[in-house]
């Protein structure tokens, strides 16, 4: 069991990134999951959780665990800095799963809310 200290989340997230850099995906997933188990009290801690969900979603997508990918990506609230990236991940996941309606819905939402040209272009292509 991971101790419930607020700094543990940031250490676990850093360990996940280091694990990804050394191609240890299973270990990275474990560290990211640990980030979710410590109660968030500040906005920074909440965004660390959102970033962990984003990375988990992308890792699950790459492992073709599409239901897990969507679950992780949908856990990111619309107010989060990472929401637009989560929407893009949901677009690609829905496309891979041949869920055309969901793919179009996510793409249209991303196109509507994003001010970032690369994300808007991706949304238009999808």
- Per domain, the residue ranges of the chain are 6-125
The top-scoring range by mean pLDDT among 13-27, 30-44, 81-95 is 81-95
pLDDT score recorded for residue 37 = 79
Pick the CATH number of 6-125 from 2.30.130.10, 2.40.40.20, 1.25.40.10, 3.40.920.10: 1.25.40.10
pLDDT of 122 strictly over 90:
no
17: left (phi over 0), alpha (psi -120 to 50) or beta: alpha
pLDDT score recorded for residue 2 = 46
Which of 13, 18, 1, 15 minimizes the C-alpha distance to 49? 13
Identify the H or E element spanning 87.
helix 83-96
pLDDT by residue (tens digit) across 23-63? 988 989 988 888 887 778 889 889 989 999 999 999 999 98
pLDDT score recorded for residue 7 = 64
Indicate the average pLDDT of the chain.
88
pLDDT score recorded for residue 35 = 81
pLDDT score recorded for residue 112 = 92
pLDDT score recorded for residue 6 = 56
Distances (CA, A) of 59 to 8, 20, 22, 72, 111: 21, 10, 14, 10, 24
Which of 81, 114, 21, 16 minimizes the C-alpha distance to 91? 114
């Amino acid at each position: 069991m991971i101790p419930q200290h607020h700094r543990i989340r940031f250490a676990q997230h850093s360990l996940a990134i280091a694990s990804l850099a050394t191609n240890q995906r299973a270990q990275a997933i474990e560290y990211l999951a640990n980030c979710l188990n410590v109660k968030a009290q500040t906005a920074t801690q909440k965004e660390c959780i959102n970033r962990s969900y984003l990375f988990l979603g992308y890792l699950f997508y790459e492992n073709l665990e599409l239901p897990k990918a969507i679950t992780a990506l949908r856990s990111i609230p619309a107010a989060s800095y990472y929401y637009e990236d989560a929407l893009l991940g949901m677009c690609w996941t829905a496309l891979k799963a041949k869920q055309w309606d969901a793919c179009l819905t996510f793409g249209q939402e991303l196109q509507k809310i994003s001010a970032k040209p690369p994300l808007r272009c991706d949304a238009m292509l999808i």
